[in-house]
Amino acid sequence: DSGVTQTPKHLITATGQRVTLRCSPRSGDLSVYWYQQSLDQGLQFLIQYYNGEERAKGNILERFSAQQFPDLHSELNLSSLELGDSALYFCASNERGGETQYFGPGTRLLVL
Amino acid sequence: DQQVKQNSPSLSVQEGRISILNCDYTNSMFDYFLWYKKYPAEGPTFLISISSIKDKNEDGRFTVFLNKSAKHLSLHIVPSQPGDSAVYFCAAFAGNTPLVFGKGTRLSVIA
């Protein structure tokens, strides 16, 4: 158990809909990262937050947005969902940024 | 443009033998490399890492080798055990940039 929690574990929705994925980092970790893993793909970095502020952005679509709240939990919002958005979404955290990240169990999103 | 490549999608090894997982990278600015292990229905877990100032790092049955001139690293698992069956991701890091992951290699250790 990494100490990072993600909810929900599974999510099935329809095209055009909007969903919110939630992540609680390890106790004391200020940095939260979001990744997407599509079929046969590696982990694609989406976005990083550090202590409530956006720190780095990867290949995140404009339809996707995220935020980190004062209690340090983070939410990833995915809107106008398309079939290709079906993937595993992982959240990771660490204390200040840097190399070693601790991953949550992921949310499996299926868009029908 | 894939900066971190794991060219073998899968690898099958007999229990007790050595498993060698390979990773190539293109960005010479990478200065830290990590291996993560992932079981089904779980998130990746950190396994072992190596700084670019070293060429080898060992932790129990796991050893990572780095060849900077070839931009290549490898993970050796000796001896391989059935519980090592998982997907292994290579990742690279440069300064404050985000981790860049390879696509992973699925290791199957056969009893």
Does A110 score more than 90 pLDDT? Answer: yes
Instruction: Closest CB to A101: pick one of B4, B42, B99.
Output: B99
As given in the structure block, the two tokens for residue A78 are 């995915």
Per residue in A12-42, pLDDT (tens digit) is: 999 999 999 999 999 999 999 999 998 777 8
Angle at A94 between CA B81 and CA B100, to 5 degrees: 70
Q: What's the confidence (pLDDT) of residue B108?
A: 98
Distance between CA atoms of residues A85 and A73, nearest Å: 23
Per residue in B8-22, pLDDT (tens digit) is: 999 999 999 999 999
Per residue in B54-85, pLDDT (tens digit) is: 999 999 999 999 999 999 999 999 999 999 99
Name the interface residues of B facing A (CB cutoff 8 Å). Answer: 4, 6, 9, 32, 34, 36, 41-46, 49, 89, 91, 93, 96-104
Distance between CA atoms of residues A58 and A36, nearest Å: 11
Interface touch A97/B96, C-beta < 8 Å: yes
Interface touch A106/B43, C-beta < 8 Å: yes
**A62, B108 in Cβ contact below 8 A?**
no
Q: What's the confidence (pLDDT) of residue A33?
A: 95
As given in the structure block, the two tokens for residue B37 are 């292990």
Residue A24's CB: how many other CB atoms inside 10 A? 19
- Residue in B closest to A100 by C-alpha: B46
Q: What is the DSSP letter of A73?
A: -
